[in-house]
């Protein structure tokens, strides 16, 4: 049997990369013209593989490989084709192309299945102008609330209106989660977005869990003043206090990560300084902590230590500091049965593999709450992602696709609709 067509993967990655904002590679923001063009390309690929194509109520684009029976059972494979601004050619895209390559292999080898396979482009996985990620996967899992649907972006456009504009129908979105009683398994292939697999020379990462993700805002109030006339000992510079806190956060995260030897990362990636003027001492600083951990006890310890440090600084420096919790997404485990199948497939194919935690959130995190779902990682060069330099070898996409395909064929061989 010829498993996965390497040249097909190369061509798909190259072709989809053309749909990007001019002068901003690789930018294909959800709902944009470039996103629509990318979906038109994907729809054509579905048609070339004789897949039944549709857009569901949540705006997910789906290609269906029909079974050779009248079975209502199905397997989902997918990821996303939207990108961040100045993103890469592989984040999400590798998973969608993997699904295409798997279907092509089934067709090339005249393999029929007793269940359907649905290839998904989940809508809007990346964080967007509605300050939301994983729109489509939330939608099919019943986790897209009315408040989320009614939220407006910076231009005042409701999210529900955009979903409906591209072919969804949010009026019936609550019906989508009913389908999971017929879903046998959900698979996703994704680049690791880290350096573990590449550094260790490992082919496949079988993801055991996705982390708690929480965000916390810290607002520091000092006193503005003239940068030339206010003496150093008389200043209440909010940016100086923010800098001390950010260094404390970074050092504390390093300490906990080393102690736990499990995934623990904290990032201050957004900071706003006011008045943000060259000749004025900063009076206000606001920054957000992005925290991703797999150990809840360590998360609580980390946040308590930050609050202690804030109390210490406010007492010593006479500043006002406000701490606010913004959001929380709980730790989620992948399906153990699916993971064992993936490990067996990798072993049977003589591919090296390792169990690992994910540091990022993915569409599969939502699917795993309502179905049997798992995700595998493949190496990416230097661990780079969310940048134009993002790169993964097509050979590695091929290997990951073969692992998923092998698990699907094993499920076929053991399939008994009465039991499943």
CA count, 13 A, side-chain hemisphere, 24: 12
Residue 344 has pLDDT above 70, yes or no: yes
Q: Which residues have a Cβ under 8 Å from the Cβ of 336 and sit 6 or more positions away?
A: none
The mean per-residue pLDDT over the stretch 337-357 comes to 97
Domains, the chain: 6-210+331-413 (3.40.630.10), 212-329 (3.30.70.360)
Is it the case that residue 7 has pLDDT exceeding 60? yes
What are the phi and psi torsion angles at 393 (to 5°)?
Answer: -70, 140
Percent of the chain predicted with pLDDT > 90:
93
pLDDT for 129 beyond 90: yes
- 137: pLDDT strictly greater than 80: yes
Contacts of 219 (CB under 8 A, 6+ apart): 284, 285, 286, 321, 322, 324
Query: Do the Cβ atoms of 401 and 101 come closer than 8 Å?
Result: yes
Picking from 187, 172, 241, 225, the residue whose alpha carbon sits closest to that of residue 368 is 187
Give the separation between CA 234 and CA 187, rounded to whole angstroms: 60
Q: What is the pLDDT of residues 176-188, one digit of tens each?
A: 999 999 999 999 9
| Calpha distance 33→30 (Å, rounded) | 9
In the prediction, which pLDDT does 316 show? Answer: 87
**DSSP letter (8 states) at residue 295:** -
Identify the pLDDT of residue 27.
Answer: 98
Chain length of the chain: 420
Rg of the chain over all Cα atoms, to the nearest angstrom: 24
Annotate 364-386 with b (16+ C-beta within 10 A) or e (fewer). bbbbbebbbbbbbbbbbeebbbb
Which DSSP letter does residue 223 get? Answer: B
Residue 318 has pLDDT above 90, yes or no: no
Q: Is the pLDDT score of 315 beyond 90? A: no
**What pLDDT score does 373 carry?**
98
Looking at residue 2, what is its pLDDT? 61
* pLDDT tens per residue, range 262-306: 899 999 999 999 999 999 999 999 999 999 999 999 999 999 999
**How does residue 1 score in pLDDT terms, banded at 50, 70 and 90?**
low
Q: What angle do CA 115, 118, 124 make, to 5 degrees?
A: 155
CB 351 within 8 A of CB 203: yes
Residues 6+ apart with CB under 8 A from 393: 379
Rounded average pLDDT over 372-387? 98
417 pLDDT more than 80: no
Cα(28)–Cα(34) distance, rounded to whole angstroms?
A: 5
| The pLDDT of residue 381 | 98
- Per the CB < 8 A criterion, the answer to whether 162 and 144 are in contact is no
- The two counts, helices (H) then strands (E), for the chain are 12, 13
């Amino acid at each position: 049997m010829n498993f996965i067509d390497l040249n097909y993967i190369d061509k798909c990655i190259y072709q989809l990369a053309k749909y990007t904002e001019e002068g901003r590679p690789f930018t294909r923001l959800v709902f944009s013209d470039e996103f629509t063009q990318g979906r038109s390309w994907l729809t054509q690929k579905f048609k070339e593989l004789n897949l039944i194509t549709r857009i569901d109520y949540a705006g997910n684009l789906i290609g269906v490989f029909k079974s050779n029976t009248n079975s209502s059972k199905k397997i989902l494979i997918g990821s996303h084709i939207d990108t961040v601004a100045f993103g890469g050619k592989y984040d999400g895209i590798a998973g969608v192309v993997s699904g295409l390559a798997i279907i092509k292999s089934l067709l090339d080898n005249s393999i029929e299945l007793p269940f359907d396979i649905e290839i998904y482009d989940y809508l809007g996985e990346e964080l967007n102008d509605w300050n939301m990620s994983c729109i489509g996967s939330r939608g099919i899992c019943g986790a897209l609330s009315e408040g989320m649907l009614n939220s407006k972006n910076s231009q005042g456009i409701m999210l529900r209106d955009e979903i409906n504009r591209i072919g969804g129908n949010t009026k019936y979105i609550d019906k989508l989660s009913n389908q999971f009683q017929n879903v046998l398994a959900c698979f996703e292939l994704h680049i690791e977005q880290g350096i573990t697999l590449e550094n260790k020379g490992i082919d496949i990462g079988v993801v055991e869990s996705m982390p708690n993700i929480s965000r916390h805002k810290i607002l520091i109030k000092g006193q503005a003043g003239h940068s030339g006339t206010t003496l150093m000992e008389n200043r209440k510079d909010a940016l100086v206090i923010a800098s001390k806190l950010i260094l404390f956060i970074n050092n504390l995260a390093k300490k906990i990560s080393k102690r736990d030897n499990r995934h623990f990362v904290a990032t201050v990636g957004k900071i706003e300084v006011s008045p943000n003027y060259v000749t004025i001492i900063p009076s206000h600083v606001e920054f957000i902590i992005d925290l991703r951990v797999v150990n809840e006890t360590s998360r609580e310890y980390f946040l308590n230590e930050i609050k202690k440090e804030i109390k210490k600084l406010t007492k010593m420096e006479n500043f006002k500091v406000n701490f606010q919790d913004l959001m929380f997404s709980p730790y989620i485990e992948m399906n153990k049965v699916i993971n064992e199948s993936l490990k067996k497939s990798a072993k049977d194919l003589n591919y090296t593999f390792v169990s690992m935690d994910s540091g990022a959130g993915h569409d599969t995190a939502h699917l795993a709450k309502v179905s049997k779902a798992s995700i595998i990682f493949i190496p990416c060069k230097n661990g780079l992602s969310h940048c134009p330099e993002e790169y993964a070898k097509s050979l590695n996409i091929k290997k990951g696709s073969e692992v998923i395909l092998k698990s699907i064929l094993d499920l076929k061989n053991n399939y008994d609709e009465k039991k499943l």
